[in-house]
Structure 1
Amino acid sequence: MSDDKITHFGYSQVPVQDKAARVRAVFDSVADRYDLMNDLMSLGIHRLWKRHAIELAGVRRGQRVLDLAAGTGDLTERFARIVGAEGEVISSDINAAMLSRGRERLTDLGLVGNLDYVLANAETLPFASDSFDCVTIAFGLRNVTHKQLAINEMFRVLRPGGRALILEFSHPTLQPLRRVYDLYSFTVLPNLGRVIVNDSESYRYLAESIRMHPDQETLRAMMEEGGFERCDYFNMTGGVVAIHRGYKL
């Protein structure tokens, strides 16, 4: 099989057309306890990472925001409160179970009226060009089959003057931290998955997908290739996570 017809699923090689379905299966498996697992895996630090991303997004009242790979809606929730009744937030995910879980959660919180939910693949967004003031994707880009296509689409749907934020696991900048991080990722995470959701393989895939994700400089170059300007990134927790930001000028 030629290289353009295969891609990585964690450390495995799979046909390109199969990856999206495999990713859906992973998140179907973990959807019901996704929030609990996030808290356990990161010791709650993921909330601080997301809070910083929201601050860097600079969203204001009345704006229109697209939250890709929205999952259970952590970023969507905060954006909906910021933009108010005059604005709009679209919560989008490729996985129906995750999108449904997010809708239930945000509805229970009383967030209705300025929210909509769209099942969509980030590589082919069903939105008009120049539609949003801000586009975000948190912990989702590494699961996309063709990452450059998703970045290109984020640029396309942004209005001039808009900005994109990519919050994602990245590459630790300190060698001692890398060793500890590897031990944690490939030993602790699968065991947590086995105990909490009876699924160690999905969390082994998540650990592997992080290692296959582009490093900080490579991802910045991909954003520039997609048309973004003034691209920068912010390492957090020693580079375990990075926030990339770019503007459509």
Structure 2
Amino acid sequence: MSDHKQDNTTDFGYQQVPVEDKAKRVADVFHSVATKYDIMNDLMSGGVHRLWKRLTIEQSGVRAGHRVLDIAGGTGDLTLRFSRLVGAEGKVVLADINDSMLKVGRDKLLDRGAAGNIEFVQANAEALPFPDNYFNVITIAFGLRNVTDKDAALRSMARVLKPGGKVMVLEFSKTDNPALTKLYDFYSFNILPKMGQAIAGDAESYRYLAESIRMHPDQETLKGMMQDAGLVQCKYQNMTGGVVALHTGIKP
């Protein structure tokens, strides 16, 4: 399954846009929201995103000396925790395609006295600028849905992962509870844009973020895409009733 349509367009929220335009449009969204990203994450999820990320860290198996890649690492929540786990002998690379997000993340981590074992790299997930078989663990949290060609990104992750290494995709997904889905839709399309307008002065970007969640592949589809990228033991764990799912896969 590829995101490319026959007429060379792709989804940007509910709109169809030329494939070559999506990256710029997504970039504009994140340039707009970068400085308010952390506070909006807390408000959008009621702070629950911290729990989702903590569970991801706990299941990562990251330990001292590991090399970890945090793709779409944005403001550095996962990177900061990984940095403490890998220690002086390890390395964490925070990669983001968006220089505004990267700058906010760098400033935040420096303010927190983050260790010198972190590198910041502006990179496109579809063509990661790292050697083959390089990282022990790769995470992408709330970033895959913004990538134009998700299949290419998953293949790129598999390439730079060491054999036996783990890819972890934490992403908004599909609930199987009709009442929860209805509540979630009302919140996403009525409350969230208003919140974005009030706090970040930008309703449109938050409307896109809500739409992009609905356009993202469901749990089974994403699992299949990870298998197609060459990963094995692919599985997922639903959190908060399937509002979010953590997918994992291993490089054989």
* Residue 147, structure 1, aligned to residue 125, structure 2: no
Aligned counterparts of 1:23 and 1:17: Cα–Cα separation in 2: 11
Q: Structure 1's 191 and 221: CA in aligned 2 closer, same or farther, altered over 3 A?
A: same
Where do 5+ consecutive residues of structure 2 fail to align?
none
Aligned counterparts of 1:8 and 1:43: Cα–Cα separation in 2: 28
Aligned counterparts of 1:240 and 1:92: Cα–Cα separation in 2: 25
Counterpart selection for 2:104 from 96, 101, 110: 101
Q: 2:63 aligns to what? A: 60
> What TM-score, normalized to structure 2?
0.97
Aligned counterparts of 2:7 and 2:68: Cα–Cα separation in 1: 33
Alignment of 1:40-189 (within 5 A): 40-189=43-192
Aligned counterparts of 1:50 and 1:100: Cα–Cα separation in 2: 21
Match of 1:123, SS state, is helix
Aligned counterparts of 1:40 and 1:211: Cα–Cα separation in 2: 19
Counterpart selection for 1:213 from 216, 227, 231: 216
Percent identical among aligned pairs is 60
Match of 1:103, SS state, is helix
Where do 5+ consecutive residues of structure 1 fail to align?
none
**Partner amino acid, structure 1, of 2:177:** L
Aligned counterparts of 1:189 and 1:144: Cα–Cα separation in 2: 22
Aligned counterparts of 2:91 and 2:7: Cα–Cα separation in 1: 38
* Residue 197, structure 1, aligned to residue 190, structure 2: no
Aligned counterparts of 2:84 and 2:111: Cα–Cα separation in 1: 14
**Partner amino acid, structure 1, of 2:89:** E
Aligned counterparts of 2:191 and 2:175: Cα–Cα separation in 1: 18
Report runs of 4+ in structure 1 exceeding 3 Å deviation. none
Q: What's the CA shift for 1:111?
A: 1.0
Match of 2:224, SS state, is helix
Aligned counterparts of 1:44 and 1:18: Cα–Cα separation in 2: 32
Counterpart selection for 1:247 from 214, 238, 250: 250
**Equivalent residue pairs, number:** 248
CA-to-aligned-CA distance 1:189-232 (integer Å, 9 cap, x gap): 00000000110000000000000000000000000000110011
